Each structure stands twice: as C-alpha cells, then as structure tokens.
Amino acid sequence: MIENLLVSLNVVFPIFVMLAIGVYVRKKKMVTDESLGIMNKLVFRIFMSSLLFINISNMDVKAVLDVKNLKLVGIIWGSLFFITICCYFLFERTMTDRNKIPVMIQGAYRANLALFGIPMAMSLYGEKGLGVMSLVSAAAIPLTNMMAVSLLEGYATKKVNFKKVLVSIAKNPLIICSTLALIVVFLDIKLPKLIKNPIVSLGQVATPLSFVVLGATLKFDSLVKNLRLSMIANTIKLVILPLIAMTIGIKVGFTNEHLLGILGATGAPGAVSSFIMVKEIGGDEDLAAELVVSSTLISILTLFLWIFILKTFNYL
C-alpha cells in the first residue's frame, strides 16, 4: 500500500508543485494579466502543440487502427455523450438560469486532457503511455470542442456567427497538430532529424511551463459565488464520469496505459479554453471561470485517489 501511495504521489505532486510555483509567481507580481495571456498563447500554439504532434507522429499506423485502441476511443466518446445527455436533462429540469445551463454541462464533461493526461502517462508508462494518451487526445479534443460549441450556441442569448466559431475551432493548434500528426502516421512519413529535433525540444518545454502559467492564471477570489453549482459539476466531472468510463473499460478488459487514457479523458479538470469559449459565444462567464479554478484544485486530490485505487487493485 505504501508503494502505491508513493507512485500516486509521484504522479500528482509534481503537478501540484508546478501549479504552486505559478501561484507564487503571480503573488510576487512577476507576471501580469497581459503577459499571462501572451504566455498562454505561446504554450498552446507552440509548446503543447509540438508535444502532441511528436507523440502522435511517433505512433505506428497499426497502433492507431488497432482494435483495442478503437474500442478505447469508443468508450471515451460514448461516456462523454452519455454524461452530456444526462446533464442536459438534469440541468434543464432543475435550473432556471439558462445562461448557466450550458456552462454546467460543459463543466461536467470537458477535460484539460492535453495538459493533465500527458504528464500522467509520461510519469507512469513513459513513451508507451504517451502514445496511447496522445491518440486519446487526438480523438477527444475535436469532439469536446464541437460539443461545447453546439451547447453554447444553442443557449446563446446573442446572435452568434456559427461559421466563425467553427472556423475558430478548426484553427485550434492542438486540433491542427493532431491532424497533421495523423497524416504523417498514415502516410508513413519519416521526418528528418533536422525538422524533428527542434519540435521535440519545444515539446519538452510544454508540461512545466503550462502548469506554471495555469497556476499563475488561477484566481481564488472567484470561488464562492457559485460554490454549490461548482461542487455539483465537479462531482460529475471528477468522480461520476471517470467512474462510469473506467468501469466500462475494466469490464472490457482494459488496464495500464489504456485505462489511464480513459482516466485522463474523463477525470482531468476543466480546460481553460472552456472559459474562453463561453466568453466568445455567451453564457455565465463567472461560473465558467469558477469551474476551471475549482476543478483544477480538486483534481489534485481526485486524480491522486483514482491512481492510488487503480494501483491498489492492480489495474495500473
């Protein structure tokens, strides 16, 4: 049991430290809102995109089309659709503020997979885990973005240029790099070291810088306004959704890096981009911000517990 605790701690504690450094940097006024905005763009457009591209492009086409991996993607997609539909009926019946409903639904299913999933995979399974988690990212990120647009646009009180939003999603650097990487895999393109090595170096910066920027971005004074709603969404997102998805995964026979892929796609906290999308399309911006902050903080504990439980029962 002590060994499992240490393994779980080794996965989650570095994330906590990097977030704490970000909070410290913000407190000491080493960064401003403007500089954080620039750094956020830099992280996701360059560093995180490079990491995702390299991880996917390193996969073999047989691995991408492997029946086991396709089942994995199917379980994740099915779980996300299921929880979204359940939340739609739940919040439609129990909430009167229509600005909050799509934000709550999005907060209950949308995960910061690229940022949280990849470090977990790297820590537990190295390159083998990175391949599976990157494939999961390539499958889940476009889906969750499209679902979010559909929800927010459907509830929007202001006129929305749907085409403009879709184009914005298509320009998402993570989606573009995932698509390019899959093209490289399917066409069996061998990237020369002259091109590959700089991308690898850029990708190595992604994880630490991403968490430091995220920690500096968190604003704790916005956690109390919608505390009850935040707890409901976070319980669904961080406990119920991963419980459903991983139970199905275990029943199918998944263990190790494949089960971790399910945990990353369903149990990671809310994506910062979810707040940006609410701000762009419409919805309760304050609630969206609270869900990102609260889910990030609570996920440090829930991810630790999930990994510990799965290790204890020899699923990881």
Tell me: pLDDT of 129 over 70.
yes
Average pLDDT over residues 171-195: 84
Q: Give pLDDT, residue 267.
A: 93
* SS3 of residue 112 by DSSP: coil
Nearest to 296 by CA among 116, 133, 119: 116
**Left, alpha or beta for 160 (phi > 0: left; psi -120 to 50: alpha)?**
beta
Q: Are the CB atoms for 49 and 173 separated by under 8 Å?
A: yes
| pLDDT value, residue 247 | 96
Give the pLDDT band (50/70/90) at residue 217: confident
**Residue range 283-294: average pLDDT?**
84
pLDDT at 127: 76
CA distance from start to end of the chain: 14
Q: What is the pLDDT of residues 48-107, one digit of tens each?
A: 888 888 878 887 777 777 888 899 999 999 999 999 999 999 999 999 888 899 999 999
Task: Please indicate whether residue 91 or residue 47 has the higher confidence score (pLDDT).
Answer: 91
pLDDT of 10 over the 60 cut: yes
The whole-number pLDDT of residue 42 equals 85
Query: 302 pLDDT exceeds 90?
Result: yes
pLDDT in tens, 230-258: 999 999 999 999 999 999 999 999 999 99
Residues in contact with 144: Cβ distance below 8 Å, sequence separation at least 6, in sequence order = 80, 109, 110, 111, 271
CA distances for 57 relative to 69, 157, 203, 208, angstroms: 16, 41, 13, 22
The answer on pLDDT for 278 being more than 60 is yes
Looking at residue 109, its pLDDT comes to 93
Closest CA to 79 of 254, 308, 278: 254
- Res 219 pLDDT > 90: no
On the question of pLDDT at 160 being above 70, the answer is no
The whole-number pLDDT of residue 147 equals 85
pTM of the model: 0.85
The pLDDT score that the predictor gives to residue 251 is 95
The pLDDT of residue 229? 92
* Lowest mean pLDDT, pick from 110-114, 172-176, 302-306: 172-176
For residues 145-149, give the mean pLDDT: 81
Lowest mean pLDDT among 38-52, 119-133, 153-167, 185-199: 153-167
Residue 158 has pLDDT above 60, yes or no: no
**Highest mean pLDDT out of 43-47, 132-136, 260-264:** 260-264
- DSSP state string for 238-269: IIIHHHHHHHHHHHHT--HHHHHHHHHHHHS-
pLDDT at 212: 86
